[in-house]
Amino acid sequence: MSGTMSESRGKYINVSSTSRRFARFFSLLSALVVRDVTSRYRRSSLGMWWAFIQPVVLMLLFNMLRGFVNIPSDGVPYILFSYTGLVPWTFFTNSVSACGPSIIQNAEIIKKISMPREVFPLAAVFATLFDFGMSAIILAILMFWYKVSVGLTLLWVPLLVILTIGASFAIGILLAGLGTFRKDFIFATPFLTQAWLFITPVIYPLSSVPEKWRSIYMLNPMVGVIEGFRSVLIKGQSPEIKPLVLAMVMVILIMSISWPLFRKLSDYFADVL
């Protein structure tokens, strides 16, 4: 029966002003971010310190690894080198993995009240941004310790942060949409991010990637992001243009697929939650 029936899709129209919807989106977004940030560390003894611990532990691990294996670091102290990569990288992976289950976690709301569902993965990204800010404080201390001279190149940082948010959101929204229907996508997220770490110049420099592979390698948007952060923070140089532009193009490309797909899927979230 369902196969033969011509499915003229149903329409739902609610006449209310766009500006209202916009204002509502932002008040909801900020309320969700506040909820996530304030409730996350309640009832934990270390509290906010957890935001520092993760990148610091990773940094120490990679430093140990470097004791056995020779990893070049473009002439920068390896601690500083790896940490500048790990801060944006942990932000990216944490927000991608927070996006995945964000729809399922907010099932009670989604099942009852209509709203643009993008708000949930987006809130997950912004709540992680708070941790990013925290771990950046350690980075600043490290930079001070190693007497890194900073200059006007710091003005690139906001753009790079926006680009990281964009990359997290583009990938996260895809996992959130698909993961709501099939949990497999959420279970696969840790493997995905671990594998991704090895194709991103976090613990090794871009310069150690063979020249002939570099063009394909740079299709990974996180290459431009991580290299960009490193140039402007510890090398005092503007980011290389090619990886940066490629990263932007890739983020826009991924988002132009994942966002419409999410929108389409989001119509049926309430049906399967």
Which residues make up the interface to another protein (CB under 8 A)?
Answer: 1-3, 7-16, 23-24, 27-28, 30-32, 34-35, 38-39, 42-43, 106, 108-115, 181, 265, 267-268, 270-272
Nearer to another protein by Cβ, of 242 and 264: the residue is 264
Nearer to another protein by Cβ, of 108 and 211: the residue is 108
Nearer to another protein by Cβ, of 44 and 194: the residue is 44
Tell me the closest approach of the beta carbon of residue 10 to another protein, in angstroms.
3
Nearer to another protein by Cβ, of 31 and 65: the residue is 31
Is residue 199 within 8 A of residue 217, CB to CB? The reply is yes
The residue among 253, 250, 234 whose CA lies nearest residue 242 is: 250
Tell me the closest approach of the beta carbon of residue 43 to another protein, in angstroms.
7
Report the phi/psi class of residue 217: left, alpha or beta, with left for phi > 0 and alpha for psi in -120 to 50: alpha
Tell me the closest approach of the beta carbon of residue 6 to another protein, in angstroms.
9
- Helices 157-181 and 184-198 pack at an angle, to 10 degrees, of 150
Nearer to another protein by Cβ, of 15 and 69: the residue is 15
The residue among 105, 126, 168, 169 whose CA lies nearest residue 37 is: 126
Tell me the closest approach of the beta carbon of residue 103 to another protein, in angstroms.
13
Cα distances (angstroms) measured from residue 230 to each of 121, 180, 216: 27, 36, 21
Angle at 203 between CA 256 and CA 249, to 5 degrees: 20
Tell me the closest approach of the beta carbon of residue 145 to another protein, in angstroms.
36
